Amino acid sequence: MASPSRSGVFDSASDRRVEQFCESISFDSRLYEDDIRGSIAHAEMLAARGLISSEERDQIVVALGEIRRELEAGSMEFRIELEDIHMHVEQALIDRLGDIGRKLHTARSRNDQISTDFRLWVRGAIDRIEGRLVDLQRAFLSRCDDDFEIILPAYTHMQRAQPVLAPHYWLAYIEKFERDRQRLLDCRRRVNQSALGVAAVAGSTLDIDREATARQLGFDGFTANSLDTSSDRDFAIEAAFCLSMIATHLSGWAEEWILWSTVEFGFLKIPHAFCTGSSIMPQKVNPDVLELTRGKTARVIGNLQTLLVLVKGLPLAYNRDLQEDKPPVFDSFDTVDACLELAAPIVAGAELRPESIRARLEEGYLDATTLMEYLIRRGLPQRRAHHLVGGIVGEAMRRGVPLKELTLEELRAHDPQIDASVADVLGVDNAVRAFVSPGSSAPDQVRQQIDAWKTRLG
């Protein structure tokens, strides 16, 4: 059987190799639910406008329900000559209803049909990913109270920098994933515009109701320009960018926890249910899920690049190149979804090792900046205080002691303004308590943020 997309203008059948080359049913079959939803909305609009009868509409809707059940059951045979999911659904409808089935494509092209289906799918996928992000945020938040008294070294340039409360770390990731959520939700607004009714490229001469189909399908509105809509894949590329940012944040978290779980750091135990062993070394507990999370980020970023290159030279309006948009989008959503599904239980189930952390916490002079700001409060210019504390740290390093073990006399040798109150800012515990600025690791600031996020995330 020839493809329904080939009209009487053709004087020969398709070369079988062309059919194989052009097919997309191998990957776009997952759009079947969205295609049927769009087709039902379109049929109801055609009937409301008098372009088909109410009896024809009812027959089409019933038949589409039967086709949906057949697709759900996996009993429909896919044929490459029908190319894609849209033609499979339409041909199945024609097989059941004959000319009544042929009427469904009135005032519709595969161009606006594909765009509508894809928008519906991306919208649903965004909602799933957004829910996963909330789960991950809640997992980080669930740690904050239990870990509140644990102090960790914060790093810059992978060198110890300043001390922070453990929940300050967890809140940092909550913030990152909140930005990801907000980007997705903002992207969703641009996804959620109906393309149905722009037809192939210029619209239709038939009196259709685009607002009705948009409303029935849960769109916020419909697109304004048929030329733009026919060619537009910005919504898919933007979603791929949002996914790339999520994957990048997951990769950074995975890298950090991989390091923290090593003997060299000894900060963290990753739940063994999310680790694997070695085929030869019996002692190994490898963080493979975290490593693959880091590795799969490359695929997600690569998919974004694929999409950008795909559209970079396309003239208005629709071009068949756009058929290649779905595999990278599907893969990015699937990959990020899988990573997020595992990230939440890993975060919730990991165990900090406070004794190991505490044993080396005074190493690295994490209180040096706090000492510098102590001197600033006593009137020294920042650059002078910075240089002076560098000298104090140098002396402590030569002696192999933390700053808090230097005597008052040794400290005053660097600056006579230093007095006994300096003890209030030396040592990691005092350094953490010394913070006061909004957004800092000050215990009261961290507590306020924890309480605020409990309210926001429920």
Q: Are residues 101 and 116 in the same domain?
A: no
Q: Are residues 136 and 254 in the same domain?
A: yes
Task: Count the neighbouring beta carbons within 10 Å of the beta carbon of residue 458.
Answer: 7
Q: Are residues 57 and 125 in the same domain?
A: no
Q: Are residues 62 and 158 in the same domain?
A: no
Catalytic annotation present for 157: yes
Please check whether residue 73 lies inside any domain of the structure. Answer: yes
Given 157, 279, 421, 437, which residue is catalytic? 157
Given 26, 53, 54, 278, which residue is catalytic? 278
Q: Are residues 214 and 263 in the same domain?
A: yes
**CATH code of residue 280:** 1.20.200.10
> Which positions ≥6 away from 209 have C-beta within 8 Å?
45, 48, 49
User: Which of these, 147, 87, 131, 218, lies nearest to 441 by C-alpha position?
Assistant: 147
Q: Are residues 78 and 102 in the same domain?
A: yes
Q: Tell me the C-alpha distance between 374 and 380, whole Å.
A: 9
Q: Are residues 61 and 210 in the same domain?
A: no
Give me the domain span that covers residue 241: 111-193+203-359
Strands 193-194 and 221-222: parallel
Please check whether residue 188 lies inside any domain of the structure. Answer: yes
Please check whether residue 6 lies inside any domain of the structure. Answer: no
Q: Tell me the C-alpha distance between 120 and 227, whole Å.
A: 20
Strands 351-352 and 268-269: antiparallel
Q: Are residues 375 and 353 in the same domain?
A: no
Q: Tell me the C-alpha distance between 415 and 226, whole Å.
A: 74
pLDDT of residue 3: 58
pLDDT of residue 1: 47
Q: Are residues 151 and 262 in the same domain?
A: yes
Please check whether residue 58 lies inside any domain of the structure. Answer: yes
> Which positions ≥6 away from 454 have C-beta within 8 Å?
141
pLDDT of residue 14: 76
State the pTM of this model.
Answer: 0.94
pLDDT of residue 13: 75
Q: What are 454's two structure tokens?
A: 């409990």
Report whether the peptide linkage leading into residue 317 is cis, meaning its omega lies within 30 degrees of zero: yes
Domains contained in the chain, number? 3
Give the residue from 330, 359, 388 where a domain finishes.
Answer: 359
Please check whether residue 345 lies inside any domain of the structure. Answer: yes
Q: Are 116 and 195 in contact (CB under 8 A)?
A: yes
Please check whether residue 1 lies inside any domain of the structure. Answer: no
Q: Are residues 352 and 377 in the same domain?
A: no
Q: Are residues 293 and 181 in the same domain?
A: yes
Q: What are 135's two structure tokens?
A: 């789960």
**CATH code of residue 74:** 1.10.275.10
**CATH code of residue 382:** 1.10.40.30
Give the residue from 76, 108, 140 where a domain finishes.
Answer: 108
Please check whether residue 2 lies inside any domain of the structure. Answer: no
Please check whether residue 9 lies inside any domain of the structure. Answer: no
Mean pLDDT in consecutive groups of 10 residues from the start of the chain, 458 residues: 61 81 96 98 98 98 98 96 96 98 97 98 98 98 98 97 98 98 98 97 97 98 97 98 98 98 97 95 95 98 98 96 97 98 98 97 96 96 97 96 96 95 97 97 98 96
Catalytic annotation present for 386: no
Give the residue from 108, 143, 159 where a domain finishes.
Answer: 108
Q: Are residues 349 and 406 in the same domain?
A: no
